[in-house]
Amino acid sequence: MGEAQQVDVVVVGLGVGGEEVAGRLAQAGLSVVGVEHTLVGGECPYWGCIPTKMMIRAGNALAEARRIPGLAGAAQVQPDWAPVARRIREQATDTWDDKVAVDRFTGHGGQFVRGRATVTGPGRVRVGEQEWVAGRGIVVATGTTAVIPPIDGLAGTPYWTNREAVEAETLPETLLVLGGGAIGLELAQVMARFGVQVTVVEGSDRLLAMEEPESSETAAAALAADGVKTLTGVRAEHVTQAEGGFTVRLSDGSTLTGERLLVATGRAARLAGLGLETIGLDPSARFLTTDDRMRVAEGVWAVGDVTGNGAFTHMAMYEADVAVRDILGQGGPGADYHAKPRVTFTDPEIGAVGLTERQARDQGLDVQIGFSSLPSSSRGFVHGPGNEGFIKLVVDRSRGVLVGATSAGPSGGEMLGALSVAVKAEVPVATLQATIWAYPTFHRAIGDALRSL
């Protein structure tokens, strides 16, 4: 091995978070090495947010067309996956080619290295025979990978994760989905709208178990309306696979069969084999714990899914900004997680920010709940079919501010904007109640929920 090259920063993993950090530091004039072993951009553009939201856009178009009878005449809907697969291939992923992203980084002056990085000591990173010494430090942004549960018989079968589901050129006739979280539900609903017979198996007693119980009920009703069968409180115990597909035996003794099996049972940080022990960190930790400047240790920062602060692209971008400002000594606000937004893009969309009612009560807050139902609002009434949803507000009565909120509905994700500002800025409930909410919008249901307090 030759002499180690002296640089300012090495960024390990150029997904959403790492690409942002590496690009901005290079633009600022630092000597930056960015290492990526798969595709620059990471999960979100190639197998996550973007292609799955293209699928959802297509599924929602079908669902909306099916709502024409009774509203606007007659419509014949013939689903075809080919344009969806084509759009993902040609528009979203460039057939899973990251040339544009690599060129953008090198255009900023960054040094790009394709390969698997390992940390070999303080400030030291190696890829194959090349080694660098980073004077300012290392940024770890290695993201997460799908968790494959240790179910008897599962390993070695051609199960799908999100990656195979996104790359599918044709759809199966039947699909079994393990996991009723965001990935499982978004993909289950889309596939069902394209005519696939889908069954979701969720181990806990409700779908979207981390969100409000009302969100779980809304999601379950929406999936049922699309013909998805959902089983909760049961776990897969045994899997066999043969030519015709998969057979899954569940903890209640029943069996399910499906042409394809999608495993969507959560994500785990990619920390194994990174060499974290060479810089005094625990390589078996679930996540890298950061301070409010995204520092893990002296000269080590971490951003994105790997920090465990919420596996969302907006969190990776947010943390990247904090880390960049810290590395460049620019100051500004530290990371603050009290108003984390998230949206599950089922139809209806289920958006939430801050604490759920349960979390607020567990923190010992003096909780007050506001609630309104979308179908009972003027806009919901006008909208008719597809108007399901609600607003739920979690108020800290002693401080008179919202600490959390959920907005479920046809534009649940968009309506979350106002609620995110309210939670983040701790807008007094009295001010929110004195706000004029335009008529007849969906977001006026926020006013209804405030009035119910």
Ligand X SMILES: NC(=O)c1ccc[n+]([C@@H]2O[C@H](COP(=O)([O-])OP(=O)(O)OC[C@H]3O[C@@H](n4cnc5c(N)ncnc54)[C@H](O)[C@@H]3O)[C@@H](O)[C@H]2O)c1
Residues that bind ligand FAD (CB under 6 A): 12-13, 15-18, 35-38, 42-44, 48-49, 52-53, 116-117, 141-144, 162, 183, 270, 274, 304-306, 311-314, 316, 345
**Positions at the binding site for FAD:** 53
What would the two tokens of residue 303 be? Answer: 């951003």
Among positions 99-128, residues that touch ligand X (CB under 6 A) are none
Residue whose Cβ sits closest to ligand FAD: 15
Give yes or no for residue 228 binding ligand X (CB under 6 A).
no
Q: Which helix (H) or strand (E) holds 51?
A: helix 49-66
Please provide residue 132's backbone torsions phi and psi, each rounded to the nearest 5 degrees. Answer: -125, 150
Residue 136 pairs with which residues in a beta bridge?
none
**Given candidates 35, 191, 236, 352, which one binds ligand X under the rule CB under 6 A?**
236
In a 13 Å sphere around the CA of 119, the CA atoms on its Cβ side amount to: 30
**Distance in Å, CB of 372 to ligand FAD, minimum:** 26
**Distance in Å, CB of 73 to ligand FAD, minimum:** 33
Give yes or no for residue 203 binding ligand X (CB under 6 A).
yes
User: If contact means CB under 5 to 8 A according to the sort of partner, which of ligand FAD, ligand X, none does residue 235 touch?
Assistant: ligand X
- Choose between 238 and 325: whose C-beta lies nearer to ligand X: 238
Among positions 140-179, residues that touch ligand X (CB under 6 A) are 149, 178-179
Binding range to ligand X, per CB under 6 A, among 110-118, 165-173, 265-273, 444-452? 265-273
What would the two tokens of residue 98 be? Answer: 């990251």
Say if CB 111 and CB 104 are below 8 A apart: no
User: If contact means CB under 5 to 8 A according to the sort of partner, which of ligand FAD, ligand X, none does residue 349 touch?
Assistant: none
For residue 25, how far is the Cα from the chain centroid? Answer: 26
**Distance in Å, CB of 355 to ligand X, minimum:** 17
- Residue 107's contacts (CB-CB under 8 Å, 6 or more residues apart) are none
- Choose between 12 and 449: whose C-beta lies nearer to ligand FAD: 12
Say if CB 335 and CB 175 are below 8 A apart: no
First vs last Cα of the chain: how many Å apart?
68
Give yes or no for residue 202 binding ligand X (CB under 6 A).
yes
**Whole-angstrom Cα distance, residue 452 to residue 447?**
9
Please provide residue 178's backbone torsions phi and psi, each rounded to the nearest 5 degrees. Answer: -95, 120
DSSP at 3? P
**Which residues contact ligand X (rule: CB under 6 A)?**
149, 178-184, 186, 201-204, 209, 235-236, 264-267, 311-312, 342-345
